[in-house]
Structure formats: structure tokens, C-alpha cells
Amino acid sequence: LYYLPVVMDLPENVNGDICTKNKCHHCCIETEMVVTHDDIKRIEQQTGLMPKEFCLLADDGIRRLKNKESPIGEICYFLDKEGHCSIYNIRPQGCQYYPLIWDLENHKVICDDYCPYSSQFSGYITKKIEDEIEDFIFTIYGFT
């Protein structure tokens, strides 16, 4: 299966709470997170970094967050030594709602089993969210 990160409108209390409570940053290791034009502009304006410092143009023509070397391997450019996101309040939209992702094969939202806590997010998948994610994926990739 080929999975894509998604953006959606989850309840406020889910936004990062599960990850924070479990001190998890598993998804920030060897990330392939998509960054939108709006994400790039927001990060650039708030940090003063140039886009080429924190994102790259992947082979598929989509911009993604860069990784950097660390003692545990390749990690997100913005993950600090303590395992915290250094841009948490302005992080890309896909980061905000991961581990909910779009399954291209089955045309639906699923929880990415790469996330050790993905089962705790499954109750937030609704028809409304699937529609919003499908629109987002179409905007990013031109197809769903």
C-alpha cells in the first residue's frame, strides 16, 4: 500500500496529546512528511530559515521535511535533542494530524500502523474527515 500524510480537523484535545503523554516522536524518525506552500511560508516567517534549509523537493515533485543526522539515525530537521519538536506550534499540517493518513489503494483514511499508538486515533475517522482529507490529497497531488 502507498500512504500519504493528511490534514484534517480533529478535536482540539487530540492534537498532540497522545504523543506528548507517551513521550513519542517515532514519526519524526526518517520522516517523509509533506509540507505545503502555506507550511513553508509559515515556518520561514516564524523561524527566519530559508526553505532549502528545512525542506527538499522529493523525486515525486512534492516538498517534504528534511532529515538530519543524529545518534539514533536520521531525524526530522526540527526534532531537538530531547525528542521535542522545535516548531511544535507552527509545525506542518500533516504533522499535526498524523497518524491518520490517506490509503490510496482503498481511497479512505486509516491509522498508520507505523505509529505505536495508532489505535488510539481510530475513533476520529468520520465521513466528514475522509472528505476533507480527500480534498487535501487532491490539492497536494492532483489525484486521490
Segments of the chain with pLDDT less than 70? 1-15, 144
Q: Quote the pLDDT of residue 15.
A: 60
Q: Quote the pLDDT of residue 11.
A: 53
Q: Are 99 and 10 in contact (CB under 8 A)?
A: no
The rounded distance, in Å, linking the Cα atoms of 106 and 16 is: 26
Q: Quote the pLDDT of residue 3.
A: 47
Q: Quote the pLDDT of residue 2.
A: 43
Q: Quote the pLDDT of residue 80.
A: 95
Q: Give buried/exposed letters for 118-144 (b at 16+ CB in 10 A, else e).
A: bebbeebbeeebbebbbebbeebeeee
C-alpha cell of residue 40: 513553508
